[in-house]
Amino acid sequence: MGGRLRHERRPWRLPRGFHLRSRRSAVCPWAYRRPCRWLGTRMACRVDRGTEVYTGRASAFLYPVRNDSLGAGRRVLAGGPLADRRSMVVHANESLVTLEDCRSYNQDSVDRAVKAAADGAGLSGLSGATVLLKPNLVLASEPDRAATTHPAIVRAAIRLARSAGAARILVGDSPGWQALAPVGAKTGLDSVVQEEGASWADFSEQVSVEVPDGSLVRRFNLARAVVEADAIINLPKLKTHGLMYYTGAVKNLFGCIPGLSKSAFHLRFPGRQEFAAMLADLYLAVRPAFNIMDAIVGMEGLGPNNGRPRHIGLVMASGNAFALDWVAARLIGYDPHDIPYLGLAARDGRYGLVPEAIRTAGEDPAARMVRPFELVHVLRENDFFHKHMPGWMHGLVRDLTVARPFFSDERCIRCAGCVEICPAKSLSFSDGKPAPAVDYDTCIRCYCCHEVCPADAIMLRRRGRFRIRLRNS
């Protein structure tokens, strides 16, 4: 069973209908950490009305899973009826990532690159389908800032879907806190949707979707348009990210959750690894048919909104969002294992990511590596905090080493977007102060405020001598 139990706080038995699985195979929905006077800080598992089970080493930790999930980790992709229906509509080679050279947003060049990338990855099966295009529309931002998917990519994707025989083409996303109308106008997508004969999808109505094989989350409330579409073509932007270090195809699916409902997930899963597991399960719920990444101009530095545009010159595509992100993260200098949701997917077979099986076509990734690229420094806090420090010190050290948001009085425009989106309600305006005040005792360091700030008025810094570091690679 992966290890012998050294200590039990009370007589322990598995709940009916469960079996034991090693911690190495997945993220445990019941896992938590707490000090034990016999063993120190160790992994623990809450099952069967609070029974606690300890092991001698965290790597030998066993946890219960339902018997009906046996073999789930051996499947190429998990999901449910929604995923099964989509897999019958669209076909693509899920182990292949194509990279096509595209040096500018000239529409003819983008059209050629998008079509070549899609053909190279084997996209087919859109005839007669309702296709939803999911760009990155995090906030109202001009295309030149590289915070959102460029209109030329969306236009090319609409033309690709139409040429493949799609009966109806929708474009939709749920921005962080703003309404879709001003975001569509500012990003230039309004004119693209109108000129190409597509329609905006309504993301206001929610539908509950079950994820029976999820590692952490078994149910999501998604936009009805996402659930009812026959196929979803994911159109992410390659950027750095304060929380996940990198954002691309998998993280872009977070916009399938309507409006401010996304904030609740930050509050529910404040840690990087927890949030990454939620994103991975969301992928199983949405199950995009195909992914086309805008990597012509990406974002470096403190993304996903307030970094700097960086020319990369590629259009990338794959049938598997994890495989696409794996290649893209390595392209800009990350070790993909350091990206929380990619590291999880590489360990857990339910997400369909087998790094050794990934193949590339088109441009040679080794020849197109971007150096130097300013990356968000990877903080390996979990290994250090939880293995070498007593539990009572975790909060103190986290407060010193994990970056916190600081506001610039000169840059703040008092749009109140940060106050509205904050899941912990840690921000508030005080009389006489131009920028919001932050209650750091309740701040969960999700960086939602930084993500939606249109004025670059929020910095991420550590206390005192500690500062958030950017790594040139």
- On whether both 222 and 320 belong to a single domain, the answer is yes
Tokens representing 111 are 């059209």
* 64 shares its domain with 166: no
Residues 6+ apart with CB under 8 A from 465: none
d(CA 215, CA 359): 27
Residues 20 and 148 in one domain: no
One domain for residues 409 and 306: no
Q: Based on the domain organization, do 129 and 104 belong to the same domain? A: yes
Place of tokens 């070790």: 335
Query: 461 lies in a domain?
Result: yes
In a domain, 246, yes or no: yes
CB atoms within 10 A of CB 24: 11
How many CA atoms lie less than 13 Å away from 465 in the CB half-sphere?
0
Q: Which of 463, 357, 469, 384 is nearest to 97 (CA)?
A: 357
What DSSP state is assigned to residue 434?
A: S
Q: Specify if 148 maps to a domain.
A: yes
Kindly state whether residue 76 falls inside one of the protein's structural domains: no
The number of domains in the chain is: 3
Do 268 and 215 belong together in one domain?
Answer: yes
Whether residue 189 sits in one domain with residue 127: yes
Containing 299, the helix (H) or strand (E) segment is strand 290-300
3-state DSSP assignment of residue 201: coil
Q: Which of 341, 356, 376 is the last residue of a domain?
A: 376
SS3 for 198? Answer: coil
Is residue 262 located within the same domain as residue 335? yes
**Which of 351, 376, 401 is the last residue in one of the domains?**
376
Same domain, 195 and 162: yes
Residue 269 counted as domain residue: yes
Of 376, 404, 420, the position where a domain reaches its end is 376
Measure the CA–CA gap between 72 and 79, rounded to whole angstroms: 10
Same domain, 330 and 302: yes
Range of the domain at 451: 381-472
Question: What CA–CA distance (Å, rounded) separates 278 from 190?
Answer: 31
Provide CB contacts within 8 A for 93, sequence distance 6+: 121, 122, 319
Report whether 288 contacts 296 (CB < 8 A).
no
Tokens of 139: 């906030």
Q: Is 93 a member of any domain?
A: yes
Whether residues 42 and 134 share a domain: the answer is: no
CATH number of 89's domain: 3.40.50
Q: Is residue 184 part of a domain?
A: yes
| 352 lies in the same domain as 408 | no
Q: pLDDT tens per residue, the chain (473 residues)?
A: 444 333 333 334 444 444 444 433 333 444 444 333 333 333 344 333 333 333 333 333 343 444 443 333 322 333 444 655 555 456 566 789 999 999 999 999 999 999 999 999 989 889 999 999 999 999 999 999 999 999 999 999 999 999 999 999 999 999 977 889 999 999 999 999 999 999 999 999 999 999 998 999 999 999 999 999 999 999 999 999 999 999 999 999 999 999 888 888 988 888 888 999 999 999 999 999 999 999 999 999 989 999 999 999 999 999 999 999 999 999 999 999 999 999 999 999 899 899 999 999 999 999 999 999 999 987 655 555 555 666 566 666 667 778 889 999 999 999 999 999 899 899 998 877 889 999 988 888 888 998 889 888 998 887 654 444 455 54
The tokens for 455 are 């004025």
**Tokens in use for 201?**
């999808």
